């Protein structure tokens, strides 16, 4: 007789709590993986980075790391971790979580997620001064001055690009990427 069947007959009220305890205590990927939505967003950030030309002084050398900094709450950082060590335009990727107010000097790409709208202006100003590529899933990010906004349209994740913000931060975005994006202007 199978073990579960014996337990069910003996103590039917204990089976469900026991299974829940096993699932919650499981150390594997159940709690370690970012949700599917953020896996897609992480892949988009990684792939878009390949179509961006950074300012000439952005890297200390040809093999210097490209540092993705993640600011805010949520699973975006976890989704980006899978790309650690992969290369973009000859630069190995590093991923760092940063806190509000923390210096962003080592960052090249700043992912902002789960940050309240009232803090975005300050974050964007600091990023602009440092020529950081900014990406966020905040609904109005590109309109508020961010460079790339990840938005949901008809159940799919799409992206918007604020070309003026990119130019102000001295980024050149590939025409191939621009063709796929919805172009927005601040304040639209």
pLDDT digits (tens, 9 = 90+) for 45-66: 999 999 999 998 999 998 999 9
Q: Tell me the whole-structure pTM to 2 decimals.
A: 0.80
Q: State the pLDDT at residue 18.
A: 38
Q: How many angstroms separate the CA atoms of 120 and 124, rounded?
A: 6
Residues 87, 61: one domain?
yes
Residues 39, 2: one domain?
no
Q: How many angstroms separate the CA atoms of 74 and 17, rounded?
A: 28
Residues 92, 167: one domain?
yes
- Give yes or no for a contact between 112 and 135, defined as CB atoms under 8 angstroms apart: yes
Least confident of 15-24, 101-110, 144-153, 157-166: 15-24
Residue 23 is classified by DSSP as H
Residues 5, 98: one domain?
no
pLDDT at 42 exceeding the cut of 50: yes
Least confident of 27-31, 39-43, 149-153, 174-178: 27-31
Residues 84, 174: one domain?
yes
Residues 170, 154: one domain?
yes
- Give yes or no for a contact between 42 and 79, defined as CB atoms under 8 angstroms apart: yes
Using the CB atoms, write b or e for 1-13: b if 16+ within 10 Å. eeeeeeeeeeeee
Residues 4, 50: one domain?
no
**113-156 confidence digits (pLDDT tens):** 988 888 889 999 999 999 999 999 998 999 999 999 999 999 99
3-state secondary structure of 111: strand
Least confident of 17-21, 129-133, 179-183: 17-21
The total number of structural domains that make up the chain: 2
pLDDT at 30 exceeding the cut of 60: no
Residues 43, 26: one domain?
no
H/E stretch holding 31 reads helix 29-32
Residues 60, 130: one domain?
yes
- Return the CATH number at 90: 3.40.50.2300
pLDDT at 16 exceeding the cut of 80: no
Domain range spanning residue 178? 34-184
Residues 100, 60: one domain?
yes
Share of the chain above pLDDT 70, in %: 81
Residues 123, 105: one domain?
yes
**Nearest Cα residue to 188 out of 149, 131, 136:** 149
- Give yes or no for a contact between 182 and 172, defined as CB atoms under 8 angstroms apart: no
Residues 23, 38: one domain?
no
Q: State the pLDDT at residue 101.
A: 83
């Amino acid at each position: 007789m199978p073990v579960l069947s014996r337990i069910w007959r003996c103590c039917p009220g204990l089976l469900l709590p026991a299974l829940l305890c096993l699932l919650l205590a499981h150390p594997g990927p159940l709690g370690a993986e970012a949700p599917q939505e953020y896996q897609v967003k992480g892949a988009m950030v990684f792939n878009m980075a390949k179509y961006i030309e950074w300012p000439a002084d952005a890297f200390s050398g040809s093999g210097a790391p490209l540092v993705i900094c993640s600011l805010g709450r949520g699973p975006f950082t976890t989704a980006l971790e899978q790309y650690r060590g992969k290369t973009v335009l000859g630069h190995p990727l590093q991923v760092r979580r940063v806190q509000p107010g923390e210096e962003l000097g080592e960052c090249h790409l700043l992912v902002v997620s789960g940050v309240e709208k009232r803090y975005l202006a300050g974050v964007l100003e600091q990023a602009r001064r440092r020529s950081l590529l900014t990406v966020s899933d905040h609904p109005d990010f590109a309109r508020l001055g961010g460079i790339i906004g990840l938005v949901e349209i008809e159940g799919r994740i799409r992206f918007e690009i604020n070309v003026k913000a990119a130019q102000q931060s001295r980024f050149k975005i590939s025409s191939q990427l621009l063709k796929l994006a919805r172009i927005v202007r601040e304040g639209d």
